Amino acid sequence: MDKQKFEEYIARRYRDQISWYDKKAATNKRLYQVLETLLIMLSVLTPILVAIIQPKILPIIISLAVAILASVLKIFKYQENWINYRTTCETLKKELYFYDAGLNDYSSSKDKEAHFVERVESLISRENTLWLSIHKEEKKARQKTGQ
């Protein structure tokens, strides 16, 4: 692979993928933390309201919100996505350092640039496969329980 094509790959594909994974990791982390915090707060609040509020409509509504939040967290897997996206992002970043330093397989590679592209695409493909397997497992679990 010539230097110009490699630089174009770095600029258009590699950096774009790092940016995408970084943004997705941050978004999923934020969603997970907000929804989980809300879930905890409403879960703690429910028994207190049951004890002190008449009529019981507000505690019932909050209990429904807790059930919905728990389901949303389980279905959309924000925590798992956050961890997977962050791991992929950091692994992609590390790959460029290995390339630049000529470490691991790069020290003996005849075409370091082609090897780098192959490794990066393999990491991206692995993450895509992992995402699919996580979400297919959840779909199967929901089908078994009738949700």
Per-residue pLDDT tens, the chain, 147 aa: give them. Answer: 889 999 999 999 999 999 999 999 999 999 999 999 999 999 999 999 999 999 999 999 999 999 999 999 999 999 999 999 999 999 999 999 999 999 989 999 999 999 999 999 999 999 888 888 877 776 676 677 665
C-alpha span between 113 and 102 (Å, rounded) = 11
What are the domain boundaries of the chain? 3-145
N residues, the chain = 147
Instruction: Please report the pLDDT score of residue 134 as a whole number.
Output: 76
Instruction: Please report the pLDDT score of residue 17 as a whole number.
Output: 97
pTM equals 0.83
Helices (H) and strands (E) in the chain, counts: 5, 0
Instruction: Please report the pLDDT score of residue 137 as a whole number.
Output: 72
Residue whose tokens read 């996505």: 81
Burial class (CB in 10 A: 0-12, 13-18, 19+), 111: exposed
